[in-house]
């Protein structure tokens, strides 16, 4: 069975501070992992995707995530937060098969203070 | 062009039927419907892949149904709407439906049941 746990439904940081959004997954097979971002009143946009080619994945807008198999984690980070990063972030796991259904975490709302 | 959903907003009275439309990215064989309720993550509803039988395992009740005509446009129908059906309904498509393929989301239909 697949599941995704995002630790912290709300995270607040100051502009310029480190952003760390935590995600742990459980999967019976090697997973496919994604982070999506949702800006207010918009659909979801892909931030980055883990492809197994490298454990550190770089995405758009300066975000990156590190896959740690031993910890079953895929935390999202950004060295310096910007006001425009305020959004909801979803950690997502795929089943590692040809079946396309994805499993979404409950989301983490990121607030950036000036 | 991206995934297009219509209408963007729908307000209707309890007990009425509603139809939500999704036009996926041209050439994408996989199409997904999700529901996003306030404060909740994304709830999977249904998945279409090519000419295969759809995965309906996420539909919450028999009031919900969906079809995909000609392998392209999809319609999600909710009959005898209830107040708990109020949510944002998101549609996504992907190239081949493999779970390592990122899904491209529309901006959603915000459904409000009075």
Residues (pLDDT < 70) of chain B are: 39, 97-100
Cβ proximity of B82 and B113 under 8 Å = yes
**Cβ pair B76, B90 in contact under 8 A:** no
Residue A106, min C-alpha distance to chain B (Å): 4
- Tell me the backbone φ, ψ of residue B89, rounded to 5 degrees: -105, 120
pLDDT tens-place values along chain A, 114 residues long = 568 899 999 999 999 999 999 999 887 666 788 999 999 878 899 999 987 778 899 999 999 999 998 899 999 999 999 999 999 999 998 875 555 678 889 999 999 999
Contacts of B32 in chain A (CB under 8 A): 100-102
What pLDDT shows up at residue A24?
A: 94
Q: What are the tokens at A71?
A: 């910890």
Confirm if A108 and A9 have CB atoms less than 8 A apart: yes
Q: Which of B74, B76, B78 is nearest to B29 (CA)?
A: B74
Is A95 close to B99, i.e. CB distance below 8 A? Answer: yes
**pLDDT for residue B18:** 98
Least Cα distance to A65 among A30, A97, A90 occurs for A90
A41 touches chain B (CB under 8 A): yes
DSSP helix/strand/coil, B69: coil
Q: A91 and A76 in contact (C-beta within 8 Å)?
A: yes
| Amino acid A3: pLDDT | 82
**Measured between alpha carbons, how far is residue B40 from residues A18, A95, B43, B92 in Å?**
26, 21, 8, 18
Contact A101 B101 (CB under 8 A): no
Tell me the per-residue pLDDT of B29-54, one tens digit each, with 9 for 90 and over: 899 999 998 767 788 899 998 888 88
Which H helix or E strand runs over B92? Answer: strand B87-94
Inter-CA distances, B60 with B45, B56, B57, B65, Å? 7, 9, 8, 10
Nearest chain B residue to A89 by CA distance is B41
Q: What is the DSSP string of A38-99?
A: E-TTS-EEEEEEE-SS-SEEE-GGG-EEEEEGGGTEEEEEESS--GGG-EEEEEEEE-SSS-
Instruction: State residue A40's pLDDT score.
Output: 85
A28 touches chain B (CB under 8 A): no
A46/B99 Cβ within 8 A: no
Q: CA-to-CA distance for B17 and B85, rounded, in angstroms?
A: 11
């Amino acid at each position: 069975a697949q599941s995704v746990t995002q630790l912290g439904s709300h995270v607040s940081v100051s502009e310029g501070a480190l952003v760390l959004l935590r995600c742990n997954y459980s999967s019976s097979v090697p997973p496919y992992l994604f982070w999506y971002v949702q800006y207010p009143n918009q659909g979801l946009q892909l931030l980055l995707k883990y492809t197994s080619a490298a454990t550190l994945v770089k995405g758009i807008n300066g975000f990156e995530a590190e896959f740690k198999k031993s910890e079953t984690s895929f935390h999202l980070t950004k060295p310096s937060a910007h006001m425009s990063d305020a959004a909801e972030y979803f950690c997502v796991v795929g089943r590692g098969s040809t079946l396309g259904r994805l499993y979404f975490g409950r989301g983490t709302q990121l607030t950036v203070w000036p | 062009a991206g995934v297009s959903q219509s209408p963007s907003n729908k307000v209707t009275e309890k007990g009425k039927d509603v139809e939500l439309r999704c036009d996926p990215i041209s050439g994408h064989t996989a199409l997904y419907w999700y529901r996003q309720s306030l404060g909740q993550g994304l709830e999977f509803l249904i998945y279409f892949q090519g000419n295969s039988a759809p995965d309906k395992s996420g539909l919450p009740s028999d009031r919900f149904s969906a079809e995909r005509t000609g392998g392209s446009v999809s319609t999600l129908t909710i009959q005898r709407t209830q107040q708990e059906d109020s949510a944002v309904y998101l549609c996504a498509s992907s190239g081949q439906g493999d779970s390592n393929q990122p899904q491209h989301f529309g901006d959603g239909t915000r459904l409000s049941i009075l």
